[in-house]
Amino acid sequence: MELTFAAKVMWASFAIALVMGALVHRSGFCTMGGVSDLINMGDKGRLASWLLAVAIAILGVTAMQAGGVIDMSLTTSNDTSQPPYRVPMFVWPRYIIGGLLFGIGMTLGSGCGNKTVVRLGGGNLKSVFVLSMIGFGAYLMMFTNFGHYVFLQWMNPLGINFAEYGVSSQDVGSLAAAAVGAEQASGQLVMGLVIGTALLVFCLRQPTLRGNFDNLLGAISVGVCVTVLWYVTAGPLGQEWLAEVEWLEVRPLAVGAQSMTFVSPSAQAANFVAGGFETTLITLGMVIVLGVMLGSLLNAVISRTFRIEWFVDARDFVYHIIGGLMMGVGGVLSMGCSIGQGITGSSTLALGSFLALVSIMLGCALALKVQYYKLVYEDEANFAAALLTSLVDLRLLPKGMRRLEAV
């Protein structure tokens, strides 16, 4: 029996995610770890690994798009996939606030959505609670009016609609092309090559990246897997998949060009359960998350590193619960997580993805700084003093506002 195009896309994506889950578990690829190493030790290795994955994905998507291999326009509408990275409506507050929330939550929850799934496969039972809270927060944002009333009703009017200026996409290539009167495709090609190459050169100049096999393995595996998933869903097979379901009376969720992301699939999984396990509610994102988790489990078993982990104390439990909730809410608000926006979204050159990426890193760095000052000074430092001092350290406030001695 011949598989449908939908089944082919699902199985191909599952296989890619399985490989990525195993290699990420093997390499220790971690967004929060990269920021933490830089903030606490001045080591750029793991952060360069993450940025190298971004560079690979940008160059891969740019090459495939220039060659006409993929149709990235399928990412511009909620009718095809979530999030719609290249929509012309640029609601900048959601990327900033959502990114900050996600970055802080990522720190409290000991890792981003991808890391949570990978740790779950490796036996970390904390991740069950974190992933559940990510799903709960994301479900509130995607399937209820919570996100509209709390955030979007006041954020949307502040947005910039690039369509009013004759630009159909918010990617920096299209914006640059419009600014100089060039063709959109030319702008996307040039900006993709410039940004991707600049990141590639910066990363490969870092000795702690070049000399560390695990850092290189993590970067290459994630960057390549994100790129190949774009090919699967936006290439010939993906376009056949989209055509196959267009005639259906009940169309499946999130069909079309998409790649790796970890927040919205958790909400879709919650919706799948709430919907009585209706098969039409199964999404590609859910399949990818399952593949990553099983890939991590496979590597943990083979390498004999599978071990059960639990919370240290009640405070540890509360931090992880709050962190998961913040990641769920912030990830949907910013239209993606550190992988979904930081790598997948950035590969499309979307302005919002770059803004979300910077905000996620800033939120993570700020939370790490506050935690560090609270740890060092213990009861001597209240939250306000630690926060102000952390903002000074990050050069976001003048030195005169420092409340604690630098450590």
Q: Give the other-Cβ count within 10 Å of 3's Cβ.
A: 10
Q: Give the other-Cβ count within 10 Å of 136's Cβ.
A: 18
Which one, of 11, 344, 29, 45, lies nearest residue 210 by Cα? 45
* Neighbour-count burial of 265, counting CB atoms closer than 10 A to its CB (0-12 exposed, 13-18 middle, 19+ buried): buried
Neighbouring residues of 287: CB distance < 8 A, sequence distance ≥ 6: 10, 13, 14, 17
Please determine, for residue 38, whether its predicted confidence score (pLDDT) is greater than 50: yes
- Helix segments in 171-313, DSSP class H: 172-180, 184-204, 207-210, 213-234, 236-245, 264-274, 284-302
- Give the DSSP letter of residue 252: P
Q: What is the pLDDT of residues 354-382, one digit of tens each?
A: 999 999 999 999 999 999 898 888 777 78
Q: What is the model's pLDDT at position 82? A: 55
By the 8 A CB rule, do 320 and 126 touch? yes
- At 282, phi and psi to the nearest 5? -75, 130
Q: What is the pLDDT of residues 160-213, one digit of tens each?
A: 999 999 998 999 999 999 999 999 999 999 999 999 999 999 999 999 898 899
Q: What average pLDDT does range 135-160 have in this prediction?
A: 95
* Neighbour-count burial of 235, counting CB atoms closer than 10 A to its CB (0-12 exposed, 13-18 middle, 19+ buried): middle
Q: What is the pLDDT of residues 295-332, one digit of tens each?
A: 999 999 999 999 999 999 999 999 999 999 999 999 99
Which one, of 265, 267, 325, lies nearest residue 292 by Cα? 265
By the 8 A CB rule, do 281 and 268 touch? yes
Q: What is the model's pLDDT at position 143? A: 92
Which one, of 298, 309, 286, 257, lies nearest residue 86 by Cα? 257
Please determine, for residue 77, whether its predicted confidence score (pLDDT) is greater than 70: no
Which one, of 219, 179, 194, lies nearest residue 27 by Cα? 219
Kindly calculate the radius of gyration of the chain based on its CA atoms and give it in whole angstroms.
21
Please determine, for residue 128, whether its predicted confidence score (pLDDT) is greater than 90: yes
Please determine, for residue 76, whether its predicted confidence score (pLDDT) is greater than 90: no
Q: What is the model's pLDDT at position 83? A: 66
Q: Is the omega angle on the peptide bond into residue 207 within 30 degrees of 0, that is, cis?
A: no
Q: How confident is the model at residue 144 (pLDDT cuts 50, 70, 90)?
A: very high
Question: What phi-psi label fits residue 65: left (phi over 0), alpha (psi between -120 and 50 degrees) or beta?
Answer: alpha
Q: What is the pLDDT of residues 341-357, one digit of tens each?
A: 999 999 999 999 999 99
Please report, for residues 96, 180, 376, the alpha-carbon distance to residue 264 in angstroms, rounded to integers and kept in the order given: 18, 36, 37
Helices (H) and strands (E) in the chain, counts: 18, 2
- Helix segments in 82-212, DSSP class H: 92-108, 113-121, 126-143, 146-147, 153-155, 172-180, 184-204, 207-210
Q: What is the model's pLDDT at position 1? A: 58
Q: What average pLDDT does range 210-239 have in this prediction?
A: 94
Please measure the distance between the N-terminal and C-terminal CA atoms of the chain and give it in whole angstroms.
Answer: 65
